[in-house]
Structure 1
Amino acid sequence: MASIVHSLKTSGLTGAFASPEPEPEQKRRESPLQTAQALAQRFSLTAAERDQLGGTPKVERDALRESGLLALSIPVAYGGIGANWRTTLDAVRVLARADSSLAHVFGFHHLMLATVRLFGMPSQWESWFEQTARHHWFWGNALNPLDDRTISRTHGAWSEFSGQKSFCSGALDSEMLIASAREADTGAFLVAAVPTQRSGISIADDWDNIGQRQTDSGSVTFEKVRVEHHEILADPGPLSTPFACLRPVIAQLILANVYLGISEAAFSSARHYTLHEARPWPPSKVASTGEDPYVLGQFGEFWVSLEAVRLLADRAADQLDAAWSRDTALTGAERGEVALAVASAKVAAARAGLDICTRMFDVAGARATHAALRLDRHWRNLRTHTLHDPLAYKIREIGEWALKHTWPTPSFYS
């Protein structure tokens, strides 16, 4: 078994990122994706151990802060890197190959930045962008539109948020939170950006699920939290215009790229153990598992499904960038085209990923189930995340277009 444990550090999962730690001058010359690849190499070395431990990956989150990648999607005019969505999503995918939990919180950080941009006024998001870039802020999520337990009550020029939110990914160890509440009198859905350390906000360390174990996706409690009027994103507000309705599209495409990164990691692990650890089944009458025609056939199927997902995800990212450039001129039909492209990528990523993460053990063999490797984390992470919203309803939305040419109805999940 010692050779298997050694293989954890030498498998194809980390090989794609193998490079020496860059010197400071080299770091300044790195592209964002090179920076992401260097971080992924570091994160992959401890991913299995940290998966077992759970909790907050504080060291790794600080490494993301120091890398400058938290400003990746922030325009240069506000101190950011100014990357488009294609590059930002590529970085999410690179990180997901090494550690899908860190890719999740990193991707959702950029989703929260997009939220203030899409739902708020320039006088709000410009300052937050500048401070995020300057101070390396991490943004966390406490929005969860399906959890209506947080109530807002108006007190003159400010509002009071009280209640709880579940599935608050990245809330722990963040500087800012995107939070939502229902207005007590009208039931209106409110979204606000507030400092995580504000009095009355309590974040519980209560995330202990089978997968995505270091996303800090537990609960947040708001106890008479004061939310200033200028912190509420009301103009144009949540899902109020076709451009604002890009927010759920971005969320879905982040998830699709996390799924794809997990699937690529599972493929890489399966390939390594098939070539270096698996033993041929006697009836195959071949010298090595890599010559078994049934094994070769499965790897061919894995590759075709991954190639299809990569093309769909990249196409969707390019369409998102085109829609983003339209700004407030974006039409409902243009938004619908992006939503369909993203939905197709997400469905394909979920299906291909669950298949690969399950069947990888058919080709890698029994030795790949050694507990120290924790290769089951690929399936656990993907299975946990693909339950974010039911795939059947995503497929139904696509079917509405395929049969009736009806665009997906904007919601926080489509």
Structure 2
Amino acid sequence: MASILQQLHLPDPLAIATALAERLAATAVERDRAGGHPAHERALMRESGLLTLSIPAEFGGQGADWATVMAVVRLLAKADSALAHLFGFHHLQLAGIQLYGTKLQQRSLLTAAVRQNQFWGNALNPLDKRTRAVASPAGFTLDGVKSFSSGSVGSDWLTVSAWDEQANAALIAVLPTSQAGVHVEADWDAFGQRQTDSGNVHFDRVHLPNALVLQAPGQAPTARSTLRSQVAQLIMTNLYLGIAQGAFEAARDYTLEQARPWFAAGVDDAIDDPFTQHRYGQLWLTLRPTVLLADEAGRQLDAALGRGDALSARERGEVAVAVAEAKVLAHRAAIEISNTMFELLGARATSARFGFDRFWRNARVHTLHDPIDYKLRDLGRYALSGRVPDPTPYS
């Protein structure tokens, strides 16, 4: 059966993403070294048309399924995982509108996102409760700060969460980044993922109208709306997988073109060294099951979203298991391959001109987003008793 993209005769997003990734790769090492705000590269993403990829066709978007969006994240991450992060988290905010918003909110916000080719950022960090919401007749007043606000610098709109002390619960809303009282601070200084625009966002008596509140404080989520965390986790899975694939391909190319065999190997070419072949075989077997599980998790996510309001808590939990499986393997693959590659390539490969260290630094920083041990706990519970993960912003 033809996809919605084929039915609408839209360009192939994977072909577009491949071309975009090539352009990002050309400057990735230099930009990683410099850090800062990638304004030019964000403009390239806008020009690519890929910012509307996940928006349903009824609102003017391309209506791609999440398996396709994840494939684009993975392609971009092979070249530049920081820009892939920006792209993935842009679509995560659009997913939140579709999962939390009313039909009117979806039509208004998503149609505008298409018409204005908007770039969305994140100020939702659920563990950071420093932003407070005080109810007023016309909505809420927001005060405080949000950390780890990926994509906030240079964004057009933000998804925001804020803690309502009176309700003892959080709200989820959206705001224009240019809203009076919103100040985005470009102060991200981690040693990896340097161009994710993930600084702090400050709110100083910001007016939040009721019309922009997607989920009111204390509003009970549906099984379907809690799939937002699975969209987020699967974006990270494909981000890590892209890093692993990028590191593997960079190592393989270097081995083929520049590496020298160890003198004791008794061979003239590094690729004929049996220990080198053995190690690449191990890395290949680290990648292959990760790809298969990530793809399967994407299909399960799409199927669950297709169930709509009929989705059960158990069905939602099965998606969380599939995503956790893929994420744990992708986490391990990104760390292992980005580290092991140096043992295969030798001392010359540590030269700064290659920038191979960026794969490990990016993987190490981003895989700390939420603890892998709790994914393993969830999978252990499922394996032992069939218990599916409890819905949280991380599971």
Give the TM-score normalised by structure 1: 0.92
8 A contact 1:239–1:245 mirrored in 2: no
Find out whether 1:372 has 2:353 as its counterpart.
Answer: yes
Pick closer, same or farther for the CA change 1:228–1:82 going to 2, 3 Å: same
Find out whether 1:160 has 2:141 as its counterpart.
Answer: yes
Partner in structure 2 of residue 126 of structure 1: 107
**What is the CA-CA distance between 1:239 and the residue it aligns to?**
6.8
How do residues 4-15 of structure 1 correspond to structure 2 at under 5 angstroms?
none
8 A contact 2:163–2:170 mirrored in 1: yes
- What amino acid is the match of 1:83? A
8 A contact 1:238–1:244 mirrored in 2: no
SS of the aligned residue for 1:199 comes to: coil
Find out whether 1:182 has 2:186 as its counterpart.
Answer: no
Using the alignment, how far apart are the partners of 1:287 and 1:39 within structure 2?
A: 37
How do residues 173-212 of structure 1 correspond to structure 2 at under 5 angstroms?
173-212=154-193
Find out whether 1:381 has 2:373 as its counterpart.
Answer: no
- What amino acid is the match of 1:388? H
8 A contact 2:169–2:217 mirrored in 1: no
**What is the CA-CA distance between 1:234 and the residue it aligns to?**
2.3
SS of the aligned residue for 2:30 comes to: helix
Among 55, 60, 76, the alignment partner of 1:95 is 76
Partner in structure 2 of residue 51 of structure 1: 32
Using the alignment, how far apart are the partners of 1:239 and 1:89 within structure 2?
A: 28
- What amino acid is the match of 1:232? V
**What is the CA-CA distance between 1:237 and the residue it aligns to?**
7.9
Partner in structure 2 of residue 333 of structure 1: 314
**What is the CA-CA distance between 1:56 and the residue it aligns to?**
1.0
- What amino acid is the match of 1:340? V
Partner in structure 2 of residue 85 of structure 1: 66
Find out whether 1:401 has 2:382 as its counterpart.
Answer: yes
Find out whether 1:307 has 2:288 as its counterpart.
Answer: yes
Residue deviations 1:121-149 (CA, integer Å, cap 9, x gap) = 11111111111111110110000000010
**What is the CA-CA distance between 1:305 and the residue it aligns to?**
1.1
**What is the CA-CA distance between 1:212 and the residue it aligns to?**
0.4
Find out whether 1:291 has 2:272 as its counterpart.
Answer: yes
% identical equivalent positions: 49
Gaps of 5+ in 2: 1-8
Residue deviations 1:359-413 (CA, integer Å, cap 9, x gap) = 0011112111111211100000000000000000110011111101111000000
Residue deviations 1:38-57 (CA, integer Å, cap 9, x gap) = 10000000000000111111
Using the alignment, how far apart are the partners of 1:119 and 1:76 within structure 2?
A: 18
Partner in structure 1 of residue 4 of structure 2: none
8 A contact 2:173–2:214 mirrored in 1: yes
Using the alignment, how far apart are the partners of 2:219 and 2:66 within structure 1?
A: 20
Using the alignment, how far apart are the partners of 2:264 and 2:34 within structure 1?
A: 41
Using the alignment, how far apart are the partners of 1:366 and 1:114 within structure 2?
A: 44
**What is the CA-CA distance between 1:227 and the residue it aligns to?**
0.2
8 A contact 2:170–2:218 mirrored in 1: no
Number of residues of Structure 1 aligned to a counterpart in Structure 2: 387
Among 107, 124, 127, the alignment partner of 1:146 is 127
Among 243, 263, 282, the alignment partner of 2:244 is 263
**What is the CA-CA distance between 1:67 and the residue it aligns to?**
1.3
8 A contact 1:70–1:137 mirrored in 2: yes
Using the alignment, how far apart are the partners of 2:119 and 2:208 within structure 1?
A: 19
- Larger displacement relative to structure 2 (348-357 or 230-239): 230-239
SS of the aligned residue for 1:163 comes to: strand
Using the alignment, how far apart are the partners of 1:102 and 1:180 within structure 2?
A: 24
Which segments of structure 1 move beyond 2 Å, counting only runs of 4 or more?
Answer: 234-239
Partner in structure 1 of residue 6 of structure 2: none
8 A contact 2:244–2:338 mirrored in 1: yes
